[in-house]
Structure 1
């Protein structure tokens, strides 16, 4: 999975939920465990989240969303973030601290019937516990935000959307077709609204 997809998936665990509310897909340690297991290669399949890991990942997610909002400037941040963003300096400090929480070393694997693959692994031999998911996600966020993909990052401004997306073609304005439909319907209603008497 690409760094961009992984970090976007983390940011998208905050989403719109009817009547202008925002839902959080990472409310419990069990939610985080399920989310991690849906992202093969992020951590060992036997990894289980605890409350400390959940707090670390949620804290990192807040930093990532703040930095996404900063990256889409001069455009506006996602509506779910308005008024609740961390200052950029605080978000950077939080991201960098999470990335540094677990020291890593490069490891080379070369299967008999394949190409060599380099990967970063915890220098402690794998016993990084609660800090490991946040550290891995922070490193993916750093690679994405420092890379060329950041230029295509956008906030979706469809009504009631809380998503960020990577613009994949020149005419893409929303994160998906349903948001495009919602935005067009809202514009139509605004144009045809009867002014109050």
Structure 2
């Protein structure tokens, strides 16, 4: 898998837990329809594992993808320490050990083998080919392996939980001064700071 895909898929999966715009938390995988939408949005990279990702949207797949997401968010929370984890699920995460075991178990459900590819006039390369398995197992194993590649790679050290009010996303810092996952979160954080400063200076504006 390319480095870009190894970065995109785990963050996209973790990002299906998000701020709902009204002060709460939304779960994009709360039902089969939500899973179908997510699989369709990421169909291009997911076709590396399953020919028709959208055709796998059923309740069994949804439950297994949600379990995998819980493991990923658990290990993201571990990776950002000593910083705080996302506020969305900090009280409902697995133990890091259980999360690692789940990723390993799901990834191992589909065996892989190395194949040497050496087209005429090209540089030889080793390609890892998945063994026989149904598309659901291949999809889940692929997501687990993408998460493992991310967590074992250099981008893990730049992983952060967005500290903006109400935001529950994880993101990878693109530069050392980046504080929030996106500009709108930065704007919201600045507005909140402005309000707090003025509330502290004006007792009449303090909440009672």
Q: Does the pair score TM above 0.5?
A: yes
Following superposition, the deviation at residue 60 of structure 1 comes to: 0.5
Paired residues, number: 195
Alignment gaps of 5+ in structure 1: none
Following superposition, the deviation at residue 180 of structure 1 comes to: 0.3
- Call closer, same or farther: CA 1:152–1:97 in 2, change over 3 Å: same
Which of the numbers 160, 164, 173 marks the counterpart of 1:167? 173
Normalized against structure 2, the TM-score is what? 0.83
1:72 is the counterpart of 2:70: no
Contact 1:52 1:130 survives alignment (8 Å): no
Residue number in structure 1 paired with 2:144: 138
The answer to which structure has the higher helix fraction is 2
Residue number in structure 1 paired with 2:45: 41
1:17-68 CA deviation, whole Å, 9 max, x = no partner? 1333211112233433332333313233423122222111110000100100
SS in 1 for 2:45: coil
Following superposition, the deviation at residue 115 of structure 1 comes to: 6.7
- Call closer, same or farther: CA 1:117–1:68 in 2, change over 3 Å: same
Which of the numbers 6, 9, 12 marks the counterpart of 1:6? 9
Following superposition, the deviation at residue 97 of structure 1 comes to: 1.3
- Call closer, same or farther: CA 1:122–1:128 in 2, change over 3 Å: farther
Contact 1:53 1:131 survives alignment (8 Å): no
In the alignment, the residues of structure 1 paired with residue 129 and residue 31 of structure 2 have an alpha-carbon distance, to the nearest angstrom, of 26
Off by >4 Å, runs of 4+ in structure 1:
107-119
- Call closer, same or farther: CA 1:181–1:86 in 2, change over 3 Å: same
1:25 is the counterpart of 2:28: yes
In the alignment, the residues of structure 1 paired with residue 33 and residue 126 of structure 2 have an alpha-carbon distance, to the nearest angstrom, of 30
SS in 1 for 2:22: coil
Which of the numbers 95, 114, 119 marks the counterpart of 1:87? 95
In the alignment, the residues of structure 2 paired with residue 31 and residue 119 of structure 1 have an alpha-carbon distance, to the nearest angstrom, of 33
Following superposition, the deviation at residue 108 of structure 1 comes to: 5.2
Normalized against structure 1, the TM-score is what? 0.88
Alignment gaps of 5+ in structure 2: none
Following superposition, the deviation at residue 95 of structure 1 comes to: 1.3
Two-structure CA RMSD over aligned residues (Å) = 2.2
Residue number in structure 2 paired with 1:57: 65
- Call closer, same or farther: CA 1:37–1:121 in 2, change over 3 Å: farther
